[in-house]
Every structure is written in C-alpha cells, then in structure tokens.
Structure 1
Amino acid sequence: MINDNSSTITELKELCHLQGKVHIRGLENVANFDEAKEANLISKCGIDQLWLEWGNNGDGNGTSAILEALQPYTGLRHLIIDGYGGLSFPTWMRAESIIWYDMLTILKLYQCNKWKFLPPFGNLASLKELYICNMHGVQYLREEFYGYNGQDDNNGFRKLEILGLQNMHGLKEWWGAEEGEFPRLRQLSIQNCPGLTKLPPLLPTVKQVEMMLCHMLTSLPSLPLLLD
C-alpha cells in the first residue's frame, strides 16, 4: 500500500516478488507517465488483487497517462479502479487488449466520472462479478459494452453471475443486449439511477433482482419466474 507522503510509487520497482493483494492510493500525487511506469506493475505476476485509488485531486491533466502506465499483469484476478479522473479508459482496456485478461473474475469501477462509455467488458472471458458505481458520465450501455466483434459465437459476459449498477446519475438507457448475452447472470442490482428509462429483457437465469431509486423507469421488461 502506497498512501503517505514518505512513500512513492517508484519504490514498487524493486519489489519483484509482491504477492496477493496490493492497494495503491494517493495516485493523484504521481507526477507523470514515467514515474508511474517505474512501478512496472505489468511484470508483477504474483499480484492477483489490485486496487488503484485516486483522491479528490485525481483529475489533473496527466491522470490518463498514469492509468495507462499502471497496466497490470494479465494474470490479475481482481481489479478495482477508484476515483480515476481521466477522460477515457486506457488502451489496455480496448477490445484488442482486454481479451488477454482472461483470468480476471472480479472488476469494480468507482467514481470514474468523466468516462462517457464503458470498455468492452463483455470480452473478459472469466469475469463473474462486475460493479459499476458513481460513474455519472455514462449515459448508455450498448454494443461496445458487450464487446461485439461480429462473430455469432462470441456472446458477451459469458461467465458473469453478478452485475451491480449504483449511483449512475447520467445513465438513461441500457440496450443492445442480444439473445445469448449474460447466459449465467443470476443477480442484478440497480440502485439510484434516477434517469434510467430502459432495460433489456432479463434472462431466465436471473434469480435475484434489486431495483431502488430508479424513478424514470416506469415499466420493466419481462421478468423471469423467480423461484424460492
């Protein structure tokens, strides 16, 4: 954990055998791409849980470059990005790169308020839990979210079981899901999305649905029969 004025992210460079969970906070204090790159996270193959956290000042001009430089090892299993103030997601989250993170099972995004669109998380082959919170800039969940590539056998979110959307004040519509998406989804939670007006049909696999403070959602899609 890097979290005080006496520690710098460059100290991670020499820690070649880091294991388990690593929480790096205070990233708003990292000066530039080169300083962040010194951490060499992409080579830290022992890290299976990574939490990258920016404080209140994490919206400077260099923020996007810093997240770009903090690309983790592709064997990562659990990733949290918290308070990132950049305008867009890094290149390692684009469609051609995100597929290499085929061991990632849990992904949490908090307060990435300037993103207008979400990366193609549907291409994460092992993703089981996805939580998206306090991302007010996102207005639509649509095709790019699922990771469509024109192949019929590449339905998005093939292993996702739990999806949570919370405090998404800008979210208006969730659409674009085709038959075969979310084949294993069993829990869906949507809370405090006051502008949301449209949802896709829910699959029979969904056993638990929680919706709160979605005042514009006047009608629901056909719901699966929920069994005790």
Structure 2
Amino acid sequence: MEWSDAFDGSRNEITEYEVLEGLRPFKKLTSLKIVYYKGKKFPRWVGDPLFVSLTQLMLCGCRRCTCLPTLGHLPSLQKLFVKSMNELKRVGFEFLGPSNSCSGTAFPSLEVLGLRNMKGLEEWSTSCANKIRAFPCLRDISIINCPKLDVVIIDLIPSLQVLHLEQCSVAVLRSTVCASSSILRLTMENIKGLTMLHGEVLKYLGAVVQLDILEFDELMYLWESEIEACNILVNLQKLVIRGCENLVSLGEKDVHLKDNMEYIREVEIEGCPRLESYNCPNSIEKLEMYNCPSVTSLSFPTMHNLPSTLIKLYILACDNLQISWLFKNHLSSLESLGIARMSNF
C-alpha cells in the first residue's frame, strides 16, 4: 500500500485513515508494506493477531504518525522495518501489547528489527509495570540515523547476534550492547560522542567474531588498553576499521596487541590518515590496508621462527610505508600479494 511522497494540501489525513481502514487485507497475508501514509495513527487491523501468516512488515515514510500500532501480537512476524517516521518521538510498551494477551510473549517469532531515518525518535523503551516477555527469537537489530535517540531501555535479548548502529548517540550503543552477551557481529558507524570503546562497552563483547568500526571523526584510539581488549575479545576473528580520520593507534596503552589477540584472522584498515604503524596479531591470515599515508611500518609475527600465517596481503596508497618490512619478515606463506600506489616501493 503506497501513497505519493508529496505531503501537501491536496491530501487529507482523515480520508487516508478511512481508506486504509477499509483496505483491511485477507487473513492469510504474508507480507505488508505501508508507504507514505499521511494519517496520524494506524487502523486497528494493523497488528491484528488474526494475521497468523504475516512474516514481514514495513512502515515507511509515514511522516505524520505519532505512534506505532501494537504489533507484538503478530504470532508469525519475523522481520519488522520502521523507516522515516519523523513525528514519532517514543516507542513504548504499547508497541508490545498488554501483558494479559495471548501467550504473554510479545513478538514471539521476530528475528530482524530495523529502525532507520527516525529523526524525531527520542526514546525506545520496553519497560512497563507488568513485565512482558519480548523478543525471544530476535537475532538482528539495526538502528540507523536516529540522531535524537538518547533513551533506550530494553530487557535482555539473549538471542541477539547481529547489532548495527549508525548515526546515533553513544547512549544507544551503551544500552543495546548490554542487552546481550551473545553478539557475534557488531557494526558501529559514526556514533556521536564515542571517543573510544571503554570497558563498560567492551565487557559485553566477549562473543564478538566480527567488529566493524566505520567513519569516526573523534576516535584517536579504539580502546584505552590493548591488554584489556585482548583479554575480552577472545573470539574476535575479523576487524574492520574504515574512515577514522584521527585514529593514531588501536590502544592508548600497552602496545603489545600482536602477542595477545590470538584468534583474529582478517584485518581491514582503510582511510586512517593519522595511523602510523600496525602490529599484526599472531594468527593473521589476511591484511588489507588502503589510504593510510602516515603508516611507516608494519610488523608480522614469526611465531618462534615458524613461517607467518599470512596468506593474503594487499597494500594501497600508503605512501610513507618503507619497503624494508617486506623483506625482514617471514612471508613464505603468502598466496596473494597486491601492492600499488606506493611512492617508496
């Protein structure tokens, strides 16, 4: 169901509500998309638990809506996306539904939840007087471009495995990572106010396998202590750092990362113009480094004179990197090598 994206005087919100009310679909509907609806609220049928086959729901561009419908009763809903609802300021317990409903579990089948371009959203809370069990299957949350969202109060989500946060506040990061200790992939992009990953965030990331840190202007270090990071990130296998213009080093203290982060296999570093050096961890298999003009040295582990584990190495536009590192390290394990735009090569 899609209206025009022109929200002008030719449209009447009461009329559009009545039209949407009358367009109630059949009960075996499996997917529903409502786009550019002008009404301030949704009809009661949106979220009706009688839609037992509905697995995917998108509400997009409904800019005048001030509240979400109660959707927690939908028994089969697996994917929910809410986008560009500028007048929505709060998502509260009414989103889940009353505690005396159905099985007493809200969103019993939901696996993927996405909030994007919610420029007026200030609060997301699942807290209420009567505890409602919610999101037992939720494994993937993305919160993108919600610049005013500062209050996030959610209960534990043990099933959460993928978390993507972009263009939101550091308060959102702190509140969401503590909802689960089973996060396997964490992507953070342009988080306002984040200067480094402090222990209060790191302590929840022990299960993380892939960590993506993208487009940060304020980061000078990823974390305060490399030793602390290594002791917590024991399952980390892939690290991606991109567009961190002021990044100087991974850790502010304890520059011995290569001796401690034993499980990391892949590292990608791109667009970090102030980074000066990088020490590869013991188990490194793939290293990609692009557009890091201040890097002068790379070091690779030899692991007690055994050949390096490095299989793939790609270096591009790192103008100050001296080529001597290439000959001083045991790189006999290399299967693929790419070096380009290197003024010292």
Normalising to structure 1: TM-score of the pair? 0.70
CA deviations on 1:167-195 (whole Å, 9 max, x unpaired) are 00111111124463100000000000001
State the partner residue of 1:35: none
CA deviations on 1:64-115 (whole Å, 9 max, x unpaired) are 1111111111110000001101121013126xxx011111000001011111
Give the match's secondary structure for 1:220. helix
CA deviations on 1:45-74 (whole Å, 9 max, x unpaired) are xxxxxxx11013466222111111111111
State the partner residue of 1:15: none
Q: CA deviation at 1:216?
A: 6.3
State the partner residue of 1:225: 182
Give the one of 114, 122, 126 matched to 1:172.
Answer: 122
State the partner residue of 2:61: 111
Q: Measured at CA, do residues 168 and 154 of structure 1 come closer, stay the same or move farther in structure 2, by a change above 3 Å?
A: same
Report the residue type matching 1:198 in the other structure: V
After the TM superposition, which of the residue ranges 128-137 and 197-206 deviates more from structure 2? 197-206
State the partner residue of 1:93: 46
Higher strand share: 2
CA deviations on 1:146-180 (whole Å, 9 max, x unpaired) are 01243594121011000000000111111124463
Give the match's secondary structure for 1:79. strand
Q: CA deviation at 1:135?
A: 0.6
State the partner residue of 1:53: 2
The question of 1:210 aligning with 2:164 is answered yes
1-structure distance, mates of 2:172, 2:115 = 18
Q: Give ranges in structure 1 of 5+ residues lacking alignment.
A: 1-51
Give the match's secondary structure for 1:217. helix
Report the residue type matching 1:182 in the other structure: F
Greater RCO, 1 or 2 (C-alpha within 8 Å, sep 6+): 1
How many residue pairs were aligned?
Answer: 174
State the partner residue of 2:71: 121
Q: Measured at CA, do residues 215 and 141 of structure 1 come closer, stay the same or move farther in structure 2, by a change above 3 Å?
A: same
1-structure distance, mates of 2:6, 2:102 = 43
Give the match's secondary structure for 2:72. helix
1:58/1:84 contact within 8 Å kept: no
After the TM superposition, which of the residue ranges 101-110 and 199-208 deviates more from structure 2? 199-208
Q: Measured at CA, do residues 104 and 67 of structure 1 come closer, stay the same or move farther in structure 2, by a change above 3 Å?
A: same
Give the one of 125, 134, 148 matched to 1:195.
Answer: 148
Give the match's secondary structure for 1:67. helix
State the partner residue of 1:84: 37
The question of 1:70 aligning with 2:20 is answered no
Give the one of 178, 182, 198 matched to 2:135.
Answer: 182
Report the residue type matching 1:170 in the other structure: G
Q: Measured at CA, do residues 152 and 92 of structure 1 come closer, stay the same or move farther in structure 2, by a change above 3 Å?
A: closer
2-structure distance, mates of 1:127, 1:191 = 21
2-structure distance, mates of 1:213, 1:80 = 25
State the partner residue of 2:100: 150
2-structure distance, mates of 1:176, 1:218 = 14
Instruction: Give % identity.
Output: 33
Q: Give ranges in structure 2 of 5+ residues lacking alignment.
A: 184-206, 210-345
Normalising to structure 2: TM-score of the pair? 0.47
C-alpha RMSD of the superposition: 2.0
2-structure distance, mates of 1:219, 1:83 = 30
1:191/1:211 contact within 8 Å kept: yes
Q: CA deviation at 1:131?
A: 0.3
Q: Measured at CA, do residues 118 and 189 of structure 1 come closer, stay the same or move farther in structure 2, by a change above 3 Å?
A: same
Q: Measured at CA, do residues 225 and 119 of structure 1 come closer, stay the same or move farther in structure 2, by a change above 3 Å?
A: same
Q: Measured at CA, do residues 168 and 174 of structure 1 come closer, stay the same or move farther in structure 2, by a change above 3 Å?
A: same
